[in-house]
Amino acid sequence: MAIRTILHYPDKRLRDPGRPVTEFGPALAKLVDDMAETMYAAPGVGLAAPQIGEAKRVFIVDVATGDDEPSDLRVFVNPEIIERDGIQQWEEGCLSFPGIHEEIERAERVKVRAQDAHGNVFELEADGLLAVAIQHENDHLDGKLMLDHLGLIRRRLVHRSMVKRSTVAAE
Ligand code: NI
């Protein structure tokens, strides 16, 4: 297992759509292990493969955030959100937007169909934070980012602060 570098906006690779996974072998298992280690080290509640420069349709979430809660790692390969229902707002963050937190509107409940790391198909119904995390991470697989959900002014502010940050980091 290895901690991988998380790409920060405005890295253009975050806009690459993920390709479907067709092989469920050791390379995928290694990718998922690396993603989990990277997410827990950050720490974050979700991570999508394009965030570490792997343009593949894979994301993980673990919304068990309490220190004494057991981990609840869930792996989604080739996911598809097949039902959305209701509306909720959550203050979201993203490991590709360090320091940024924005209120974003999402469906309150979702039903997702995906494969696990072995290729087995499963369906899951989620609400609350888990539903938010699934929608947020699923967006990454289409090259869609949290700022795309913001109004024009907030989007510009977030864009500028991230560009400024990346310029400072490169100096
Ligand atoms: Ni994100």
Rounded to the nearest whole angstrom, what is the distance from the C-alpha of residue 50 to the centroid of ligand 1? 10
Q: Where are the domains of the chain?
A: 12-170
At 49-100, the pLDDT tens digits run 999 999 999 999 999 977 777 889 999 999 999 999 999 999 999 999 999 9
Contact 89, 129 (CB under 8 A): no
Find the 137 Cα to ligand 1 centroid distance in Å.
Answer: 6
Q: Compute CA 160 distance to the chain's CA centroid, rounded to the nearest angstrom.
A: 22
Catalytic residue of the set 83, 102, 137, 171: 137
Please say if the pLDDT value at position 171 is more than 80. Answer: no
CA–centroid distance, residue 145 to ligand 1 (Å):
7
pLDDT at residue number 68: 75
Topology of the domain comprising 12-170? Peptide Deformylase (3.90.45)
Contact between 62 and 134 under an 8 Å Cβ cutoff? The reply is no
What mean pLDDT comes out for the span 164-171? 80
Annotation marks residue 137 as catalytic:
yes
